[in-house]
Amino acid sequence: ATLPYDDGNIFARILRGELPAKTVYEDEHALAFHDINPQAPTHILVIPKGAYVSWDDFSARASDAEIAGFVRAVGKIARDLGLVEPGYRLLANVGPDSGQEVPHLHVHLFGGHGLGPMLV
């Protein structure tokens, strides 16, 4: 199952500055902010600035510069937030059956002590 891109999705609106977010990082390729309903001591969402529905869409269509910029941003955010030592986890839901709710690629960054076992 795939979702269509919808310019009115909540993360597109955050990117346009129409909705507030607790931003922790921004550069040419990526924006990162706190999840509104955190599932770990630190729970950040990292999104690309381009209009990509999911990891599947992004990995297929984005330029090498966008992909490299995004991947490096995720790593830098985790380092800058001090998450490497306690350890962290990355997750991206692709498609509604996986639990993807917002049709703009977002990588969940879960960090802090006591993450617990990965369930799936």
Told to judge if 113 belongs to the known catalytic residues of this protein, a careful annotator would answer no
Q: Note whether 35 binds ligand 5GP by CB under 6 A.
A: yes
46, two tokens:
């990292």
In this chain, which stretch among 35-43, 57-65, 75-83, 111-119 interacts with ligand 5GP, using CB under 6 A? 35-43
We find the least distance from the C-beta atom of residue 68 to ligand 5GP, in angstroms, to be 23
Rule CB under 6 A: say whether 37 interacts with ligand 5GP: yes
Q: Which of residues 62-101 bind ligand 5GP (CB under 6 A)?
A: 93, 99-101
Q: Closest approach of Cβ 56 to ligand 5GP, in Å? A: 13
Nearest Cα to 54, choosing from 116, 107, 113? 107
Please say whether the beta carbons of 15 and 85 come within 8 A.
no
Residues at the site binding ligand 5GP, with contacts judged by CB under 6 A:
10, 21, 33-37, 45, 93, 99-102
